[in-house]
Amino acid sequence: MATSKPLSVAIVGGGIGGLCLAIGLLRYSHLKITIFEASHAFAEIGAGLALGPNAQRALCLISSMAEQAFRHNATSNSSPQFRKAWFDFRCYVQGEQDSLDLGIINNETGQQTVHRARFLDALAGLIPADIIHFGKRLARVTEFGITDNSPILLHFTDGTTAMADCAVGADGVHSILRKHLLGAATPEATPVFSSIVCYRGLIPMEDADKALGKYAHDAYVWCGKGAMVMTYPINFGEVLNVVAACDRKTWNDKEYVVNSTPEQLSKDFESLVGIPRRIIELLGRPMLWAMLDHLPAPQYFSRNIAIMGDAAHATTPFQGAGAGQAIEDALVLSTLLGRARCLHDIEPALAAYDIVRRPRTQRVVRTSRDAMKLFAFTDDIVDGDVEKWKQAWRGRMDWIWDIDLEVHVADALEIFGQKVGCGCHVAKTADQGALKSESESHRRSHLVV
């Protein structure tokens, strides 16, 4: 039965996933959206972010303005022959002077990258400021029976609480809501170290150009034994973004992002020669990141609570697909929740989201680990054989990039329709048009201090 009272959806976490979900949900006037973000302002760490064609299409289906937020800030490869190139993969063979071209992998959009903070700011600009509550770090959750008015009570570390009909954890790799759903003691609840570390740094294009020449202006992956160096231009070609990854058996620091030392950096990449070695020398003192991901969660929801983005399926970055999957989650979840007319519709909506999204996102996590093994020639199948390597990459990413998202969403809606046993939810087409006006979407929050 439909209700006249708006359904309140609390989004915990205002990263790319949480903001895209909010933008998607703001299309529906019967939903009341609130974002609770732990930090005191929106912030992204790390510089470059690449979005594949699937992620760009998902943004467009959420809102044309969200897609513009990306497009207006996106940097592409510079050379005309690299227009459709995702990366040109290269390696150095012992004793050879020049690098060996392992091949260019193309896709529909080519490499498209943004400066993370700029993109996040542009997304935040699409959300009314008064639905966002900063400085609200979720500590724990209390759930009441579904017969109660608002079945979820969020407790923040500052002692305040908030009620909601539905809560979505977009609170990143160390998600509190993931622990709440899966049980804090289960191995799936907390992230695992992937035995890979990444140095992330930026090189001013002037320096990069001098040292690397033409290799500074397009996207490359430099493969080496046990290590790889990925580079692409960002900030409209003003800066070269670098991610340099290598194997590391254990991680002992309690922080997952730490300062690096030039000595350790140099040692970690001592096997590299030529261009990738020069890139490492230009990095100075980059931050060092432990690469974490999640064991597959048995489910992404329980009752009226769901998790999305890195909270649901944190992945290593070797297919450049983590944020893209968060955006796809936001598309599917917002469309489903847009069909929920009463409290009892929320659980079937989250169940449909889980059924459609879990297999795809967990496959991304699995294949991303395999990708690093290919980059670093540490896999058992290819084992350094260049022809086998090329074969392994042929079409390898197509299932990520080529997904028909409208069919994906339709599948989710069909499952939802079956679960609520009422066709009327599915028959109504999404108001895919413009976001509703600020005044429409502006409603007072349930924040209780």
Please, what is the Cα angle at 85 between 82 and 90, to 5 degrees?
95
Per CB under 6 A, does 321 bind ligand FAD?
A: yes
Closest Cα to residue 54, out of 360, 306, 314?
A: 360
As a 3-state breakdown, the chain gives helix, strand, coil percent values, each rounded to 5, of 40, 25, 35
> What pairing do the DSSP bridges indicate for beta strands 227-234 and 75-76?
unpaired
Element (H, E) at 313: helix 310-313
Helix (H, G, I), strand (E, B) or coil at 87: strand
Residues 231-250, interacting with ligand FAD (CB under 6 A) = 243
Whole-Å CA distances, 139 to 41, 89, 186, 430: 19, 44, 18, 34
Helix (H, G, I), strand (E, B) or coil at 306: strand
Per CB under 6 A, does 320 bind ligand FAD?
A: yes
Per CB under 6 A, does 171 bind ligand FAD?
A: yes
Q: Catalytic: 357?
A: no
Per CB under 6 A, does 371 bind ligand FAD?
A: no
CB of 340 to ligand FAD, least distance (A): 22
Among 24, 53, 151, 172, contact with ligand FAD (rule: CB under 6 A) = 172
* DSSP label of 235: G
CB of 118 to ligand FAD, least distance (A): 14
Measured distance CA(46)–CA(170) in Å, rounded? 18
Token code pair at residue 58: 């998902």
Token code pair at residue 147: 């017969």
CB of 86 to ligand FAD, least distance (A): 11
Q: Which stretch binds ligand FAD (CB under 6 A): 31-39, 126-134, 349-357, 377-385?
A: 31-39
Per CB under 6 A, does 74 bind ligand FAD?
A: no
Q: Which stretch binds ligand FAD (CB under 6 A): 72-80, 121-129, 170-178, 424-432?
A: 170-178
| Per-residue binder mask for ligand FAD (CB under 6 A), 379-418, x = binder | ----------------------------------------
CB atoms within 10 A of CB 254: 6
Closest Cα to residue 223, out of 318, 122, 82?
A: 318
CB of 169 to ligand FAD, least distance (A): 8
CB of 414 to ligand FAD, least distance (A): 26
Which residue is catalytic, options 57, 200, 357, 358? 200
Token code pair at residue 266: 């140099």
Q: How far apart are the first and last CA of the chain?
A: 32
- Closest CB to ligand FAD among 50 and 62? 50
- Closest CB to ligand FAD among 51 and 282? 51
Among 28, 199, 289, 375, contact with ligand FAD (rule: CB under 6 A) = 289
Per CB under 6 A, does 39 bind ligand FAD?
A: yes
| Chain residues in the site for ligand FAD (CB under 6 A) | 12-18, 36-39, 46, 49-51, 136-138, 170-172, 176, 198, 200, 243, 289, 309-311, 317, 320-324, 326
Catalytically active residues, by annotation: 200
